[in-house]
Each structure stands twice: as structure tokens, then as C-alpha cells.
Amino acid sequence: MGERITGHTELIGLIAYPIRHSSSPAMHNEAFAKLGLDYAYLAFEVDNDTLEDTIKGFRAMKVRGSNVSMPNKTVVHKYLDKVSEAAELCGAVNTIVNDNGVLTGHITDGVGYMEALKDAGIDVIGKKMTIVGAGGAATAIEIQAALDGVAEISIFNKKDQFYARAEQTVKDINERTKCKATLYDLADLDKLKEEIADSYIFTNATGMGMKPLEGQTYIPDPSFLRPDLIVTDVVYSPRETALLKMAKEVGCKTMNGLGMMLFQGAAAFKLFTGKDMPIEHMKEVLDIKY
Ligand code: NAD
């Protein structure tokens, strides 16, 4: 990288805490190098206490943009000039773009999921999705799927602290899009089976299947699935969750969370640079298979 940094190189940040484990710097810098773009992407340990000063600093230094992760995703909008419709509906921002001093917040997680489906040859537009989850990843997918034209979404979640958020998501989708959304308690497994039965796609958008819940799924047995059902998971570590293993055994087409991770980065990359991320190259370099 040393060879390509000059006085003209523009900075793109990633602000979160903790953040040193992130694969985003490697992904974006590899893509800049591949395309010969004069940017550098660096991670900064920033939490809510230092967030406002960081955003002021970005403005003062004319930084091109930044990705944002927890704990800043849900509060950074306060310091921006505007947010996209999806970011407003999700109540979260994962990408900030600085256009001549105007800071706009976007959320690319949902776009990332929808683009990953397309890349895997899966067309959900006009169809029914059943999805489990009401947290950050789930809300972004549900909102984007509704905005993009998925006809019907049945959302299931535990009656935990996330349930009220799902109630708001369902309200927003029904009021602001043409999609019909309904919320159910995940404890009602008969209902879950019934909703999956006439869905085109079933998605896990919770941490079920990754540590500390690795090897587990809330789907009690393979009779909930059928060979022509598409089954996807936002989890990418492990690459094959207990849900995806069961789905493969039934004969379902499956997709893990690596595609969403890659394409949410690609969507941010496009916002920062105006260029398409070299997807096939990134898949090879990052060993992405889904
Ligand atoms: P979050 O904390 O915002 O939400 C957690 C969700 O999990 C809630 O819906 C909660 O009700 C549910 N949950 C927790 N324990 C559960 C249990 N025992 N049974 C059923 N549901 C349970 O988390 P998040 O940021 O939305 O992340 C969720 C998962 O998505 C994580 O595994 C994360 O790694 C993954 N993720 C993947 C990508 C990607 O690009 N592929 C992006 C973001 C998050």
C-alpha cells in the first residue's frame, strides 16, 4: 500500500468498538488496489463517547466517507445532515458519504442481502419470504426486501427486547410499501411451519447457529422444509450453520451470510467511489463461497 499512498489519497474510515477483527479494511483496500483507485480505508476505535468529535473531524478533514458499526450505527444519524429512506426506516446507518461537506447516512446491509440473492440466481421479487429476526441485520433485510418488491413477509421473533422493534418494522412496511408484513411469536412453531410451507424463501437473520449458539437451530425437524424452498442464513461463521446443514440434507438451495457481507461492502464501495467493486476478484481473494 505504501507505494500507492500520495498527497492526493483520500481517506475512508470505519468507526466502531471493538473493530480490530474486521475484514472490511482488507476487502476495501484490495478493491482499491485492484481498480487503481486513490483511497485508503482504515479502522478507528470509536465509541459513542467520541463519535460526535469523530464526525466533526471527518467534516473538518473532508474525509470522503466512513463505514459505521456498533455501538455507533443506531446513534450516528444525529450528527449527519440527512439519511436515506432505508436508513431512516431501519433506524441505523452503516455508511456515511461526504459530498462537499454534506454528510448523508445510508444502510447497505439490506441491499447487500438482496444483491447476494441476485448473485446466487435467486429472485424473490413478488414472492413470499418468512424470516426470523428483529435485530439490526433482520430489520435491514426486511425493510429492503419490502422496498425492493417482495410481496409478503412473515416475521418471527422471540418475545424478547427486540420484539417491539419488529412491531415497528411491520407497521412501517405496511404503511410505507406495497409489501404485506405480519409478525408472529417464534414460540408458535405450528404457525412457523405453516408460514414456511407457502413461502418461496426462508431466512435466519438472528445469531442462532453461531457462537454461543453454534450447532443449534429453532427449526425442530426437517419436516418444516421442502426441496424447492430456498433457505438462507445471515451467519457466515461457521459457513454452514445447523439450519443450512438440515436444509441441504432436505435438498434445498442454500446461501450463507458471506454474500451479504461482500455485497453490503460493495454497495458502500459504490457510494464512496462511484465504481463497482470487482466482485469475482474479491470472492477469489477472500475465499468466498456460498
Ligand atoms: P442483534 O443483536 O441486533 O439481533 C439479535 C437477534 O437475534 C434478535 O432478533 C434476537 O431476538 C435474536 N435472538 C437472540 N437469541 C436468540 C435465540 N436464542 N433464539 C432465537 N433468536 C434469538 O444482532 P444483529 O446485528 O442483527 O446480528 C444477528 C446475526 O447476523 C449475527 O449472527 C451477525 O453475525 C449476523 N450479521 C451478518 C451480516 C452479514 O453481512 N452477513 C451483517 C450483520 C449481522
* Integer CA distances (angstroms), 237 to 63, 92, 115, 257, in order: 32, 23, 20, 8
pLDDT on residue 50: 98
Q: Which of 228, 222, 230 is nearest to 246 (CA)?
A: 222
Dist. CA 133 → ligand 1 center (Å): 7
In this structure, are 218 and 275 located in the same domain? no
* 24 phi-psi bin (left φ>0, alpha ψ -120 to 50, beta other): alpha
Q: What percent of the chain has pLDDT over 90?
A: 96
In this structure, are 78 and 191 located in the same domain? no
Q: Is residue 14 part of a domain?
A: yes
Q: Is residue 73 part of a domain?
A: yes
CA distance 270 to 267: 5
How deeply is 214 buried, as exposed, middle or buried, from its count of CB atoms within 10 A (0-12, 13-18, 19+)? middle
pLDDT tens per residue across span 128-139: 999 999 999 999
In this structure, are 100 and 140 located in the same domain? no
pLDDT tens per residue across span 187-241: 999 999 999 999 999 999 999 999 999 999 999 999 999 999 999 999 999 999 9
- pLDDT at residue 143 is higher than 80: yes
In this structure, are 174 and 244 located in the same domain? yes
CATH number for position 117 = 3.40.50.720
CATH number for position 31 = 3.40.50.10860
Known catalytic residue at 73 = yes
- pLDDT at residue 170 is higher than 70: yes
Q: Which of 238, 280, 243 is nearest to 263 (CA)?
A: 280
Dist. CA 100 → ligand 1 center (Å): 35
**Domain, as residue range, for 75:** 10-107+261-286
Q: Is residue 187 part of a domain?
A: yes
pTM of this structure = 0.94
pLDDT tens per residue across span 26-59: 999 999 999 999 999 999 999 999 999 999 999 9
Q: How many domains does the chain have?
A: 2
Query: With a 6 A CB cut-off, is 152 part of the ligand 1 pocket?
Result: no
**DSSP reduced 3-state for 11:** strand
In this structure, are 38 and 114 located in the same domain? no
In this structure, are 270 and 241 located in the same domain? no
In this structure, are 161 and 198 located in the same domain? yes
pLDDT on residue 245: 98
Q: Is residue 1 part of a domain?
A: no
CA distance 39 to 161: 40
pLDDT on residue 2: 52
pLDDT on residue 52: 98
Q: Which of 62, 73, 211, 275 is catalytic?
A: 73
CA-163 nearest atom, ligand 1: 11
